[in-house]
Amino acid sequence: MQRLSGKVAIVTGASAGIGRATAKLFAAEGAKVVIAARREAELETLAAEIASEGGEAAFLAGDVQSEDYAKALVALAVSRFGRLDIAYNNAGTLGEMGPTSGVSEAGWSAALATNLTSAFLGAKHQIPEMAKHGGGSVIFTSTFVGYSFAFPGTAAYAASKAGLIGLTQALAAEYGPQGVRVNAILPGAVDTPMYRDMNDTAESQAFVTGLHALKRVARPEELARSVLYLASDDSSFVTGTASLVDGGASITRT
Ligand SMILES: NC(=O)c1ccc[n+]([C@@H]2O[C@H](COP(=O)([O-])OP(=O)(O)OC[C@H]3O[C@@H](n4cnc5c(N)ncnc54)[C@H](OP(=O)(O)O)[C@@H]3O)[C@@H](O)[C@H]2O)c1
């Protein structure tokens, strides 16, 4: 049985990595998906791939920093598919990295806008639409960085992603009475373009791999499976959580 049959979902950051894998899995599980990111050509390719596998997808390119884009994605879900049940607000950026004494205010603000303010803007417009039909599931992609692990030179990224956990809890408390569940997923390292950009040497990849109890990094599809759990009715009593999917990084000290 398909686990998202009859559901409509928005997935941001769908042009690559975890978001792309999740959009494909959602569609394979019966959801109609609205896919979002800045690169239109990648979205078009993904929508065609989903259609060729028997699914349904609509796409709209834009920047998640924009409130108009957040509104437009919800409007597209409703105009094309009639409702909104699931929103995976996943788009993110590492932002300006390096010694914090050298990070510009613009770089700091840009990381917060893409990683944290975008989540607020998305939820602000998604939740009322979900509540119209008795509820739904909102999911954010936080990270183990700034939660169970700290790395030098990641202040803006860690702070913006940790902020998502507070947002998750506040929204879960506020909208639980309307049947809207809100959870954050906290991946360990996942083999995506973001991971490869940051770890472009064998030494760096060996270091990151060794941080995990499983001594490997995740495939995007493995994260997608965990997001599917939070999106589906399998997690119907789960809300307000910060859910580690980190290959045991949080319990590894060797
Ligand atoms: N990979 C990891 O090890 C890891 C670990 C923990 C958490 N995460 C988090 O997981 C999420 C997905 O990351 P990933 O590893 O799959 O990275 P990725 O391959 O770099 O994908 C990032 C996605 O976000 C989109 N995006 C970035 N900035 C955007 C913006 N301003 N507006 C709209 N879309 C934007 C990108 O699309 P466009 O470029 O087309 O806009 C892309 O689809 C991120 O939030 C990341 O922080 C990743």
Cβ atoms 35, 46 nearer than 8 A: yes
Query: Is the pLDDT assigned to residue 254 strictly greater than 80?
Result: no
CA distance between the termini of the chain:
41
> What distances in angstroms separate CA 182 from CA 1, 44, 54, one per listed residue?
24, 29, 29
Residues in the chain: 254
CATH architecture of 8-251: 3-Layer(aba) Sandwich (3.40)
What pLDDT does 253 receive? 86
Which of 69, 147, 157, 175 is labelled catalytic? 157
For residue 114, the CA-to-ligand 1 centroid distance in Å is 10
Instruction: Give the single-character DSSP code of 114.
Output: I
pLDDT tens track for 173-228? 999 999 999 999 999 999 999 999 999 999 999 999 999 999 999 999 999 999 99
Query: Ligand 1 pocket, 136 CB below 6 A?
Result: no
How much is the pTM? 0.98
Whether 88 sits among the annotated catalytic residues: the reply is: no
As a whole number of Å, the CA-based R_g of the chain is 17
Could you tell me the pLDDT band of residue 95, with boundaries at 50, 70 and 90? Answer: very high
pLDDT tens track for 134-172? 999 999 999 999 999 899 999 999 999 999 999 999 999
Would you put residue 96 in left (φ > 0), alpha (ψ -120 to 50) or beta?
Answer: beta
What pLDDT does 1 receive? 82
For residue 209, the CA-to-ligand 1 centroid distance in Å is 20
Query: Ligand 1 pocket, 226 CB below 6 A?
Result: no
What mean pLDDT, rounded, does the chain reach? 98
Domain range annotation of the chain: 8-251
